[in-house]
Amino acid sequence: MGTVDPWVSAPARIADPDEGISVDELRLAARNHGMPLEALRYDVTPPGLHYLLTHYDIPALDPGAWRLTVSGAVARPLSLGLEDLRVRPRVTQRVTLECAGNGRARLQPRPVSQPWLDEAVGTAEWTGTPLAGVLAEAGVAATAVDVAFAGADRGFERGVEQDYRRGLSLGEAMRDDILLVDEMDGRPLPPQHGAPVRLIVPGWYGMAHVKWLVEVTVLEAEFGGYQNVTSYRLKQDADEPGEPVTRIMPKALVQPPGVPDFQSRVRVVDSGVVELTGRAWSGWAPVDTVEISVDDGVSWRPAELEPPADPYAWRLWRYVWDAAPGRYELRARARDTSGNEQPVGQAWNRQGMANNHAQRVTVVVR
Ligand SMILES: Nc1nc2c(c(=O)[nH]1)N[C@H]1C(S)=C(S)[C@@H](COP(=O)(O)O)O[C@H]1N2
Ligand SMILES: [Mo]
């Protein structure tokens, strides 16, 4: 057996039963911050409070010099500057993004990676031009199968140097709501969210929304890159190929009520009528049911849902709780119209992906 350099990380290593979060994981968590859960109060997450996930470093791209190439199995390869994109038809969509690794740090046993708890989520208004129009202009070959998207960021995974790349099937890429966006919440994209241009794939987990986009390549075979074939797979064993992670599973989160204890984040509220609110979303179909439990999932009652804003944006829910003194474990769960139901317990997988087990909020009523 050859020796492996000690800096080569092994994604999806499983932590020992009593192994704590390591300094490497803490460093990732400090770089890739979550959305503070009190920000669930906003329809659109204020800039800076949206979660962040970057595998390598945030690249510095000069918007004036930036080009997007469209090549591969196309009749007319394109090289577009920012102004070329901005004069095309423009669309604004409100979209909730969630990292596929959200919830990973709660899994038992725990896959070692970015240790998200519940907060790798956010909603923004993204403005840009439909990818389908750009692909049509390039003239996609009848033999095309997949479209690959490359970011300008580069690094190593399992010892292999690579650009951040993801592939989508041609059918998915031609959806009219897939956007090449240069604005977030009406302002130019900030560096950490993909400036000057990123891809938005409404309904899909975060990894599909390639930031710092520089290359679109139309392929006549399935894309075989690391982030599709090795990572973002639902699997139990290291040596099985697993299923690809795609759309966001339904989830509801509770906006933590009352005030927190600094370190434990346990909530303290006064007894009486407490209006609980939160958000719920699914990338498969609209959420039509949210249920709340104040007894750790033993009994459930329906919450009221506000009308949906945008098909891929979270929905506000409300629930009136008549709270008597005591200690409670609050839980929320969502269901969507295609019948996907959020489980209370965990569906474990090796990479800790697409975990939508119900959040638990500890509340002391005084
Ligand atoms: N180029 C590039 N795009 C990327 C990533 C990355 O590391 N590089 N991370 C992906 C992942 S895993 C997620 S969850 C989302 C996060 O988007 P945000 O940081 O804007 O919230 O970006 C995706 N796009
Ligand atoms: Mo992610």
Domain boundaries of the chain, sorted by first residue: 23-231, 251-365
Q: Is the pLDDT of residue 11 over 70?
A: no
- Judge if the beta carbon of residue 50 lies within 6 A of ligand 1: yes
Ligand of minimum distance to the alpha carbon of 96? 1
CA of 300 to the centre of ligand 1 (A): 35
For residues 255-273, average pLDDT: 98
User: What count of Cα atoms within 13 Å lies in the side-chain half-sphere of residue 302?
Assistant: 7
Q: How far apart are CA 251 and CA 249, in angstroms?
A: 6
Q: Whose CA is nearest to atom 23 of ligand 1?
A: 207
CATH number for the region 251-365 comes to 2.60.40.650
Residue 60: its pLDDT value, please? 96
Ligand of minimum distance to the alpha carbon of 61? 1
For residues 213-218, average pLDDT: 99
Q: In which band, very low, low, confident or very high, does the pLDDT at 230 lie, cut at 50, 70 and 90?
A: very high
Residue 72: its pLDDT value, please? 98
Q: Is the pLDDT of residue 158 over 90?
A: no
Q: Whose CA is nearest to atom 2 of ligand 1?
A: 211
Q: In which band, very low, low, confident or very high, does the pLDDT at 3 lie, cut at 50, 70 and 90?
A: low
pTM of the predicted protein model: 0.97
Q: Whose CA is nearest to atom 18 of ligand 1?
A: 52
Q: Which class is 23-231 in CATH?
A: alpha beta
Residue 343: its pLDDT value, please? 96
Residue 1: its pLDDT value, please? 42
Q: In which band, very low, low, confident or very high, does the pLDDT at 179 lie, cut at 50, 70 and 90?
A: very high
Buried/exposed code over 29-38 (b: 16+ C-beta within 10 A; e: otherwise)? beebbbbebe
pLDDT in tens, 51-68: 999 999 999 999 999 999
